[in-house]
Structure 1
Amino acid sequence: MMLDLCSIRKLQTAIRTFEENLKKETGLSLNDALLLCATRKGINEPGALAKELELSPSRLTRVLDTLEKRDLIVRKVSQTDRRGISVSLTEAGQELIGNYSCSGIQVPEELKFTQTEQNN
């Protein structure tokens, strides 16, 4: 089987277009939105979030700072280990992520395969 680099380029362009539409519609970058989704799925420890999103610790901190300033997440000291931090969605964060599937964000044709009936 041969790799079609042109198709990969189309996907890359489609993802960039989607991110631009996401930013216009919600003010979120793709990393912001992915972090909100991961947190909604129960990934709450910064180390686990960084691993899930493939972000460096410094980049993760910047994303968390941005979302916290927008009151979409809160960081709390862990109940079990005071050195640890737990990330959770605020009501505004839950509402924003709940609206993704109902939004008018245009999904490029090349990314339609990612759409589901019910987002988890």
Structure 2
Amino acid sequence: MASILSFLNQAVDSIISSGSGLNTGCKLVLSCAGESVTFPVSPPSFKVSNAYNNSTINVNSLGDINMLGKRGLTTIKFSSFFPAQAYDDIVNTTPDSPYSYVEKINSFAQKGQPCKLAI
């Protein structure tokens, strides 16, 4: 499972980071409760991580034993910026104010509902 996620991570990373400009045709859309934010600038890269809640216990006369745990949450990390003016490499032709993006993302976090990230 980890090798498939690693492959997908590398494939999407190469698609996003290829080309001379920032906009390579990829769009990142964060949606929550019927509202959405399309990031105006594609991030140059991102990282997907999966947590596995394994633990190690020590048993007398056997030593350390790895106890397999359940899979934890998947996390994704990326960085981008919200431009204050229009550039050639922007995904949206008419970007909103940088502060409006931040306000909308903060409102998603406070809603207490699951969000969806589409790439």
The structure in which a higher percent of residues are helix is 1
TM-score strictly above 0.5: no
| TM-score when normalising by structure 1 | 0.29
The structure in which a higher percent of residues are strand is 2
| TM-score when normalising by structure 2 | 0.29
